[in-house]
């Protein structure tokens, strides 16, 4: 997976919008945004953060600059544990020419010293939004890891991997009734990028438009 072939695959699939959400990193956002622009695809800068509770949450930002500032904030709060490529894989950074221009030294899959509590406000401070990822999964999900959705939560959307599980999930967690429920490919490999099967209605086709649609609670 390189930024150019991600954007190319998205174009072949006929996707309008993609989001780049590496674990605890936005460092490949500049490259993917540039590649997507060449293919005429809208790319949203983002991150799949791993909170101190090991809850995975997707953060999306309106501006690339703010995403990169958030990246620095998170990197400072990662346990400085060097990556072992033979175990966890490579952590390469690409430039806008689709060439590897660097490697992230510390392990990115680790939990950041940032709690899910307060994450919404933190990300809003960077002009972004946050929603819990794959809430139906038994690992690294808000519901599995905390046991329930904190009643004082402020997030407005939630991502479900298997939409067949949505009904029982909503019954057990009424908070989800008010959320915009989305599902995404969570593609870690090129071949896992979904076909454009699901749609999101937006006021305008822009990053801002998508973020606003995800913030409009029912």
Partner 1 sequence: MTMTVEELIGKELFKVVAEGDDLSRQVTGIFCCDLLSVAMGRAPSDSAWVTVMGNVNTIAVATLADVSCVILAEGAQADEMCLARARQQGVTLLATEEPVFEAALRVHELIHG
Q: Which residues bind partner 1 (CB under 8 A)?
A: 50, 52-54, 79, 81, 84, 87-88, 109-111, 139-140
Q: What is the DSSP letter of 8?
A: H
Pick the closer one to partner 1 by CB: 50 or 156: 50
Pick the closer one to partner 1 by CB: 109 or 166: 109
Pick the closer one to partner 1 by CB: 95 or 110: 110
As measured in angstroms, the least distance from the Cβ of 145 to partner 1 is 9
Alpha-carbon distance 127 to 70, whole Å? 10
As measured in angstroms, the least distance from the Cβ of 110 to partner 1 is 5
Alpha-carbon distance 93 to 165, whole Å? 36
What is the b/e burial string over 185-212, where b = at least 16 CB atoms within 10 angstroms of the residue's CB? Answer: bbeeeeeebeeeeeeeebeeeebebbbe
Pick the closer one to partner 1 by CB: 12 or 190: 190
Q: What is the DSSP letter of 163?
A: G
What is the b/e burial string over 82-106, where b = at least 16 CB atoms within 10 angstroms of the residue's CB? Answer: ebeeeeeeebbebebeeeeeeebee
Residue 195, phi-psi category: left (phi > 0), alpha (psi -120 to 50), beta (remainder): beta
CA angle 22, 24, 28 (to 5 degrees): 45
As measured in angstroms, the least distance from the Cβ of 44 to partner 1 is 26
As measured in angstroms, the least distance from the Cβ of 79 to partner 1 is 6
Pick the closer one to partner 1 by CB: 36 or 135: 135
As measured in angstroms, the least distance from the Cβ of 124 to partner 1 is 25
As measured in angstroms, the least distance from the Cβ of 192 to partner 1 is 13
Pick the closer one to partner 1 by CB: 141 or 156: 141
């Amino acid at each position: 997976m390189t930024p150019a072939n991600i954007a190319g695959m998205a174009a072949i699939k006929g996707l309008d919008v993609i989001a780049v959400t590496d674990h605890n990193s936005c460092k490949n956002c500049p490259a993917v945004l540039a590649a997507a622009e060449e293919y005429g695809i809208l790319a949203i800068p983002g991150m799949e953060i791993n909170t101190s509770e090991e809850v995975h949450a997707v953060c999306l930002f309106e501006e690339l600059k703010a995403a990169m500032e958030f990246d620095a904030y998170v990197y400072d709060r990662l346990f400085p544990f060097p990556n072992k490529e033979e175990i966890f894989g490579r952590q390469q950074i690409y430039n806008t020419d689709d060439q590897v221009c660097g490697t992230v030294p510390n392990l990115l899959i680790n939990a950041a010293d940032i709690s899910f509590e307060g994450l919404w406000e933190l990300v809003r401070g960077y002009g972004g939004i946050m929603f819990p990822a794959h809430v139906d999964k038994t690992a690294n999900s808000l519901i599995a890891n905390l046991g329930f959705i904190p009643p004082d939560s402020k997030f407005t959307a939630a991502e479900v991997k298997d939409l067949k599980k949505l009904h029982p999930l909503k019954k057990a967690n009424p908070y989800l009734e008010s959320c915009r429920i989305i599902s995404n490919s969570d593609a870690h490999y090129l071949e896992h990028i979904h076909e454009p099967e699901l749609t999101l209605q937006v006021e305008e086709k822009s990053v801002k438009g998508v973020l606003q649609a995800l913030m409009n609670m029912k």
